[in-house]
Amino acid sequence: MGRSVWRQPGFALLWAGEGTSQLGAQLAGLAMPIVAVTMLQATDAEMGYLNAAQTAAFLVVGLPAGAWLDRMRKRHVMIAADLVRALAVAVVPLLAVLGRLELWHLVVVGAIVGVATVFFDVGYQSFVPVLVADEHVGDANGVLEATAQTMRLGGPALAGVLLSFLAAPLVLLANVAGFLVSVVALSGIRDGEVVRPRSERRHLLVEIGEGLRFVAANDLLRRIVATVALSNLGSTIVFTLLPIAILRILGIDPAVYGIILSIGAVGGLAGSMLAMRIARWIGEGPAIVWSTVVFVLAGVLLPLAVLVPDAAVVLLIVGEAIFGFTVLVFNIVQVTARQRLCPKPLLGRMNASIRTVVWGVMPIGALAAGGLGTAIGTVPAMWVGVAIGALAIPPFLLSPLRTMRSLPTRPRGAEEMVAEV
């Protein structure tokens, strides 16, 4: 039996850096919408612009980012991305203290952070198989996602406490601190990654094309892209408008909002811890299929909560918990399958190709949320998002994945074949 994932060199530092970065991100994830809705009186359309700015980078630079990452040491790129994010987020509390903060500042900061996040996230998903032996990749993903969910569990509650005596922009300083701690931790890793020499590189467009063709030629990856893209499009519409529904329509206090998200995150924590066990129990294919069905159905509870104010808090908690549990099961199993399937020289481009599509729909969803919310109202627009998310079910439910206990892995010698292209 192989060594524990905790004994893989550098993994503990990656885990520590990710944990603190995730905690800061959770504080920011609650503070930014509160700043927009309560301090700057953002409309539905303006919330759409803000969310679009935060996610547009995957649509704009996602593909070249993957090709560039396959030419560079991924850890160095992640460190640079953390530094850029820390500097950008620090601008918000500074402008707030000076009394100069406006909504367009949040949009610009969101766009800058979004670009840096493209490079960090593609690098991060491509770095795990570099740092960890193949047999531990699934366990490593589970540990890192469990940590992220722990931060999602405690982060919003901590934000709620901080918001009771600090202005929302100042809570963003914790986000800055998280990015800086991540920089320190990543700087201590000695991964030994060797990048391809310049003599083996081809034109950037050729290398981008290799990643796209790899994804397009694989049935499993095509179905993952279709399902996640439709789910993200629908859920972005719902979650873009959710702060307005909770804070303005229901009138729930920001501190209570944070507690709702923290209690709901228990489901995500459980999903991250049980994902690989569930995959081993019912099979990897069925785990992906049925988690998709359930997280789509759980999304119904979020707009329903606005229609039943007396039960709103309970419905929000249950909806968040079920959604978090099943999304984490889905993500851990399918990301692990992708990492095992793809030759390592193509990891950056494969991940970037997929994320360009599945995250590229998110700014479209955010703008659609703003337009729909303005045209037909916040809650009806959320129901449109739920309906679009339901379209994510057929690509998996009507596929051979329903009976596949083990998903395919990269063929022996795949790295050599890529190197010879």
CATH number at residue 295: 1.20.1250.20
pLDDT at position 155 is 66
pLDDT at position 37 is 82
pLDDT at position 379 is 93
Residue 32 lies inside a defined structural domain of this protein: yes
Q: Phi and psi at residue 162, in whole multiples of 5°?
A: -65, -35
pLDDT at position 161 is 67
Residue 75 lies inside a defined structural domain of this protein: yes
Alpha helical stretches, state H, 164-246: 168-187, 204-216, 219-243
Beta strands in 249-371 (DSSP E): none
Query: How distant, in Å, are the alpha carbons of 33, 334, 341 from that of 284?
Result: 36, 8, 13
pLDDT at position 284 is 87
Q: Are 361 and 42 in contact (CB under 8 A)?
A: no
Residue 2 lies inside a defined structural domain of this protein: no
Residue 1 lies inside a defined structural domain of this protein: no
Residue 306 lies inside a defined structural domain of this protein: yes
pLDDT at position 416 is 44
CA–CA separation, 41 vs 103, rounded Å?
9
pLDDT at position 421 is 37
Interaxial angle between packed helices 312-341 and 137-163, expressed in degrees from 0 to 180 and rounded to the nearest 10: 150
Q: Are 197 and 353 in contact (CB under 8 A)?
A: no
Q: Are 241 and 378 in contact (CB under 8 A)?
A: yes
Q: Is the dihedral of CA 214, 217, 223, 227 positive or negative?
A: positive
**Residue that has been written with the tokens 């892995």 in this structure:** 409
pLDDT at position 115 is 86
- The count of other CB atoms within 10 Å of the CB of residue 85 is 29
pLDDT at position 90 is 92
- Token pair belonging to 150: 């722990």
Q: Is the dihedral of CA 122, 24, 88, 111 positive or negative?
A: positive
Q: Are 103 and 40 in contact (CB under 8 A)?
A: yes
pLDDT at position 372 is 94
Number of domains in the chain: 1
Per-residue pLDDT of the chain (421 residues; tens, 9 = 90+): 345 777 767 788 888 887 777 777 777 767 788 888 878 888 888 888 888 887 788 777 777 776 677 677 788 888 998 999 999 999 999 998 888 989 899 989 988 988 888 888 777 767 777 777 767 777 777 777 777 666 765 666 666 667 666 677 777 887 888 889 889 988 888 776 656 666 555 666 777 788 788 888 888 888 888 888 999 999 999 988 998 999 889 998 877 887 787 777 778 778 878 888 898 899 888 998 899 899 889 989 999 999 999 899 999 999 888 988 898 888 888 888 887 877 777 777 787 788 788 888 888 998 999 999 999 999 999 999 999 999 988 887 777 777 778 776 755 544 443 443 3
Residue 24 lies inside a defined structural domain of this protein: yes
pLDDT at position 110 is 86
Residue 196 lies inside a defined structural domain of this protein: no
Domain interval for residue 107: 7-189+201-420
Residue 217 lies inside a defined structural domain of this protein: yes
pLDDT at position 303 is 92
Q: What is the pTM of this model?
A: 0.69
CA–CA separation, 109 vs 95, rounded Å?
12
